[in-house]
Structure 1
């Protein structure tokens, strides 16, 4: 080790306080990078396990493959494991649930039991083709109690419409086909099979609540598959990458496999998608977030090294005076960075892992309890994530130390010893406006001159504040938009159970009201629906429709476009609650001769031509505008309704439809005034409700149901959406908390060190008569100057970054760019509070020092 490096280590040891501050700053930065990397990897791991727990572990599905095709799949180099399954079919049995009259037999090979979510509750899994396990739901919902060991003889076949094409079959995702309370499907191509029940399983997560068959799972022996038989092959691949889609399709074409599909929900968490817009969005978003983290880390470490070099100025000057070259001085600072990095990176890695591990302990209790998510966050550490964290941290340290090192190499010996390199005085540079003194007093003027004299330290502090503002606003904007994306993409299911009927009889109405009063029901809405149409002026139709109309003028008639209108009539209680929620007087909607309506003027839909999710206005309307409603294109029986309010909020059970559709909300009691005279049918009546125990509520409703009502329990799909929303919220708000903590630490470290370095300056001001009150005023005004300058730079830069995030999202989505004004207001207030508190805390320590001792002091 050369003499310069030895002196550098000695200097670090002698200035322990400054060394510890620098090391601590680097540790925080490394810990942040490691925590973010681990958080991202662990979150993706959780989502993969959650999807696997619900829909099984597989990547590619080849349907209806024969024996030769199956051999080709198993022998393919990309194949890791093959899960073989077959939908054997349906068999009638004596069920007490008239909407679930079948047993659905599905077969898996041994690997299927390992990779699909089949939860055994009693007995064992099948080991032969004549053995089955049955769902507990058969007893709890179907009312039939089978015993383990019992023989089960079934006539298994396929579901067809009683009158229709033999090619049209139905599966578990298709509800029982009925018409006017009559079942319109039959079981055909039946074969008699005898099974022995060897166990019971929990109701499978992949079985929809409206499925007409209770799940029965049998064993599929690969060796007994006949040459003419076909099976489904679910493939787990050795490597999952972006070529999976092209490779699988080429493989299917090469071996004449008709149908190939992908586990898109699982592949998405591998970062793999065949949607080019989504892929571009993911890569660009990742790049922006990584850039923000790296910039924040560089800022934090750069400040630590920059301040350290300022304090070492005299030391470097003395080295220069005894013959040290520019290269040696530069290498001295770089060597300091290497020493600090060697100490800080391992500690930062461990600190990041420990911190995120403790965080997971608290988060898991939330997501497993409150959110109902079975899979908890596991501390997932991969060699790549550690390598990335170390590499990014090392590069960050090198960048952060190189700039101060270059600066240090240029300091002359005299300037360094006299410590004049940071203070370059000239009348022009320290000149302040007379308005400052008039408005704020001499203390403000002195404070502003101090900042101008110590321009480098002032710039470092402002830079730290700007970085903190940009980090916080960018991440909060990203978080808010993630929630918005879920809102746009989700199916709009905001209820647990729906009940529909085509007959609005008095008996049905009474029965629906009794359903709404069941013990576990939390909220309910009885809705009447009628589908009509209206003509809207071209200038008031949605922007996308205007563009389409210019290309296809035939869409318009007399410069008007024909909108499909869904008229929704709410029951009185639901209408009052909904009106209160959107700030409308419910009585005003019912008082006029021509009833008023609430128009839903915002729609979310997927544009198949652009392959984007779009949020847009359904209609450019105004309150007080009249709509003429017609039925079947007949103007003679038209009715007029006035727009009483415009909103984007949807009541329970109501969706908006796609482009060219309009949804209006009226009182159910006033629907007769809205429906045209030539309307011959009846409004369709539906009940929507939420329940604290949807499964129990469904069972109670089925016991009470004596008419042709159809009951659909969508609790599972809604629960998955809510879990996803809440889980992403936990993840992103945790990220915001981390970024905020790092930002505050960065600001505190920079300002407190800057104030500490000005000890002699403050002592000089006190020595010439500045009072404690005047000193406090000066500090307060400096805080204001810091905050204002930081906001003048930080907010425009943040808006630019937010727009970049927005443009990235527009690869897959389409909606307007809006600024998060509340977040911006919060940042403005928070910056002044943080800067003010930090300045007061730091200056309080300076006040306690003796003026004479402070004037003598060369360094802290």
Structure 2
């Protein structure tokens, strides 16, 4: 170790307080980077494990593969395991539920039964092709009481739509129109099977699916050349090239169809959607950039103040022959020493902090969200390397500028300490209005700010970074949650009942069942209208400019969904949007609430788009037209006028059971009596009941026990629960991120201001020595705080808006909605900045107020 480095270490030891402040600043920065990296890896790991627990583990699925094709898949270098599966339907003639008349066979090999979530409630899983395990729901919903050991003979085949001729999947409900069945079962094989166990209804089976799940066995050892199965592949390594690799493999060996587990792959950061990939990369870049800038700001301030304080020390080195390079390397060496101490401690602190946070979060997500998996602290080499790499980079950037400044300090200037403060009349000139309006203390405070610009700018820069960090991250998290909600259906109910031949008394009977906590009865009718071009949303206007053939007499045809709520539900809905329900029950003119905000996925681009459904005003009228017949031959069908309805209110809130319209459609919400008032053909009105229940499965069983064959039951509880879990998990992650950033920002501000105040001991001692009273001193500090806050906000808010706009543009690759500023967050930042600055300055002043004036005037180091 050379003499310069020895002197640097000795100086660090002698100035313990200043060295400790610098070390703490670096530790905070490293802990932030480590916590963010670990939080990201751990959260993605939770999502991966939760998805596997709910829907099984597979990355690529090769459909209908033969024995030879299967062997080629197994030999592929990217293949880790192959789970075989096949499906089929058989009639369940003894079913109580006419909308679930099938047994749905889901057959797996041994590996498949381990990779897919199958929970055995009694007995065991099948071990050969002649054994099955049935769902518990079959035993409770079939007339025959199936028991373990029973044998049954079934004809297994596929479902086909009679009109369209297409095969139907398990997620497609039973197809019927009243008493007319629109699908048929085409058997392909007959098998005799033995029941060896029962399973709980699997999570992948929607409540509205037409078949009860039966688990069968695929025996690869007896696989014939004429048989075909689905190969569900788990890859050795999940990487972006898997899409091209799987398609190439399929093409090479004649496999016709390949599916990808998009839900699971998304959590690995892998997607074949170019716009979504661009969104992920650009968002990651913006957020990582914000974090690096925040870290650099925190560490730079620490080293900048350190070099400013070491000016005399560096000048003395220069006076005894130290070169520019040696002085510069002295600062770099100091950074290396600080980094060697701080980085390990910072990484450990970040991991411990996140680990403790996970303990509290796990209790919340397990109890409130019914999530089976827990957040685990995932420490990967990548996360540690990222934390170390970014920390080293930020320390180097933070020390580079101070090192360059240190090399240029002359011996005389350094010893006299004149390099930081270079005064002129113009530099400290203030407006006469400042003294007239705010007093002498405010003028002195403003001159103090201007007198030492470097420390002033360091503090302002710290505040600006804090503002940008908070607003950028909060905007990012709010929009991330909004984007997630746009991809989810707004299923705010547990059970949907539908039927076109039900009387109101029958509908009301379902709302009085046990466990039902809330209910809505709705009558729905679809009509059309013609909208003037000036009332169309911007997206439709753009489409019309490209093709005006869709216009009829200069107007655009819209589909209109009339949603008639029962009076109690309508009253609640009207109150929630801030209007009076009584205004919509007038006898003279039918009046409706228009849902003027829509969210939909564009089938052409795959984008999720939020737009206005209609640009209209309260008081405008809409002419309702009956739907044209489906077999018309004219180019422009004649529409029969039904009635006119007035717009009584516009809202972006939808009531329970109403689904967002697409572009070119609009939802009207009215009381149920308005449907009759409009004169809609009763044959075109469909009835729905939406139920919320404390026990949805028990409620469904009670409905089925009523044995009403004209009612169709959709139990969407499980699906809605998964959507809510995802949104709540994302909220926990994002608000945890905001909290972390907020604490880091506050620590940054306190560190910068307290260190800056400590370096001004001599200045404050001088003011007290010439007679400034404690009251005047406090007043001066208050005005300085205001000047700092105003200056920081004048820079921080515009920069934050630019970054927020960049985030919005990045999300625009996949999600399209209007840009709006988070005014509440901005107001919160304005208030908090002044509170934090004032608190930090008062806290720092309180520590030096009682010091002796003489000692303060003599002070050189802290």
TM-score class normalised by the smaller sequence: over 0.9
Is 1:423 the counterpart of 2:421 in the alignment? yes
Unpaired runs of 5+ residues, structure 2, are 629-637
What's the counterpart of residue 655 of structure 2? 651
Alignment of 1:534-545 (within 5 A): 534-545=529-540
What's the counterpart of residue 808 of structure 1? 810
Give the 3 Å change call, closer, same or farther, for CA 471–415 of structure 1 in structure 2.
Answer: same
TM-fit CA distance, 1:740: 0.3
Equivalent residue pairs, number: 853
What's the counterpart of residue 25 of structure 1? 25
Is 1:694 the counterpart of 2:696 in the alignment? yes
Is 1:103 the counterpart of 2:103 in the alignment? yes
Distance in 1 (CA, whole Å) between partners of 2:35 and 2:268 is: 20
CA contact (8 A) 2:96 2:707 kept: no
**Residue number among 727, 743, 746 corresponding to 1:741 in the alignment:** 743
What's the counterpart of residue 71 of structure 1? 71
Distance in 2 (CA, whole Å) between partners of 1:233 and 1:111 is: 11
Give the 3 Å change call, closer, same or farther, for CA 704–102 of structure 1 in structure 2.
Answer: same
Distance in 1 (CA, whole Å) between partners of 2:745 and 2:89 is: 60
Is 1:794 the counterpart of 2:796 in the alignment? yes
TM-fit CA distance, 1:459: 0.4
What's the counterpart of residue 435 of structure 1? 433
Alignment of 1:564-713 (within 5 A): 564-633=559-628, 637-675=641-679, 679=681, 681-713=683-715
What's the counterpart of residue 786 of structure 2? 784
Distance in 2 (CA, whole Å) between partners of 1:47 and 1:107 is: 26
What's the counterpart of residue 150 of structure 2? 151
Is 1:237 the counterpart of 2:235 in the alignment? yes
TM-fit CA distance, 1:141: 4.7
Distance in 2 (CA, whole Å) between partners of 1:323 and 1:675 is: 100
> Which piece of structure 1 moves more, 24-33 or 169-178?
169-178
CA contact (8 A) 1:153 1:192 kept: no
What's the counterpart of residue 114 of structure 1? 114
What's the counterpart of residue 722 of structure 1? 724
What's the counterpart of residue 199 of structure 1? 197
Cα distance per residue 1:507-550 (max 9 Å; x no partner): xx222212212232222111111111111111211222212222
Distance in 1 (CA, whole Å) between partners of 2:376 and 2:487 is: 28
CA contact (8 A) 2:158 2:187 kept: no
What's the counterpart of residue 360 of structure 2? 362
> Which piece of structure 1 moves more, 544-553 or 91-100?
91-100
CA contact (8 A) 2:156 2:191 kept: no
> Which piece of structure 1 moves more, 174-183 or 848-857?
174-183
Distance in 1 (CA, whole Å) between partners of 2:679 and 2:72 is: 61
Is 1:133 the counterpart of 2:137 in the alignment? no
Distance in 2 (CA, whole Å) between partners of 1:132 and 1:205 is: 19
Distance in 2 (CA, whole Å) between partners of 1:785 and 1:184 is: 75
What's the counterpart of residue 632 of structure 2? none
Distance in 2 (CA, whole Å) between partners of 1:521 and 1:680 is: 28
Distance in 1 (CA, whole Å) between partners of 2:617 and 2:816 is: 23
TM-fit CA distance, 1:190: 5.7
What's the counterpart of residue 860 of structure 2? 858
Distance in 1 (CA, whole Å) between partners of 2:535 and 2:79 is: 55
TM-fit CA distance, 1:591: 1.7
TM-fit CA distance, 1:641: 0.6
Distance in 2 (CA, whole Å) between partners of 1:95 and 1:455 is: 83
**Residue number among 749, 752, 755 corresponding to 1:750 in the alignment:** 752
Distance in 2 (CA, whole Å) between partners of 1:141 and 1:94 is: 8
Distance in 1 (CA, whole Å) between partners of 2:660 and 2:733 is: 30
Distance in 2 (CA, whole Å) between partners of 1:185 and 1:798 is: 57
Cα distance per residue 1:347-394 (max 9 Å; x no partner): 111111111111111111111110111111111111111111101101
> Which piece of structure 1 moves more, 529-538 or 93-102?
93-102
CA contact (8 A) 1:91 1:154 kept: no
* Alignment RMSD: 1.7
Distance in 1 (CA, whole Å) between partners of 2:254 and 2:658 is: 44
Alignment of 1:275-294 (within 5 A): 275-294=273-292
Distance in 1 (CA, whole Å) between partners of 2:825 and 2:512 is: 42
Distance in 2 (CA, whole Å) between partners of 1:658 and 1:17 is: 64
TM-fit CA distance, 1:123: 3.0
Distance in 1 (CA, whole Å) between partners of 2:4 and 2:360 is: 48
Alignment of 1:264-279 (within 5 A): 264-279=262-277
What's the counterpart of residue 827 of structure 2? 825
What's the counterpart of residue 377 of structure 2? 379
What's the counterpart of residue 762 of structure 2? 760
TM-score, structure 2 normalization: 0.97
CA contact (8 A) 2:163 2:182 kept: no
TM-score, structure 1 normalization: 0.97
Question: Secondary structure at the residue paired with 2:426?
Answer: coil
CA contact (8 A) 1:306 1:404 kept: yes
CA contact (8 A) 2:98 2:709 kept: no
Distance in 2 (CA, whole Å) between partners of 1:511 and 1:369 is: 37
Cα distance per residue 1:421-445 (max 9 Å; x no partner): 2111111101111111011100011
TM-fit CA distance, 1:610: 2.8
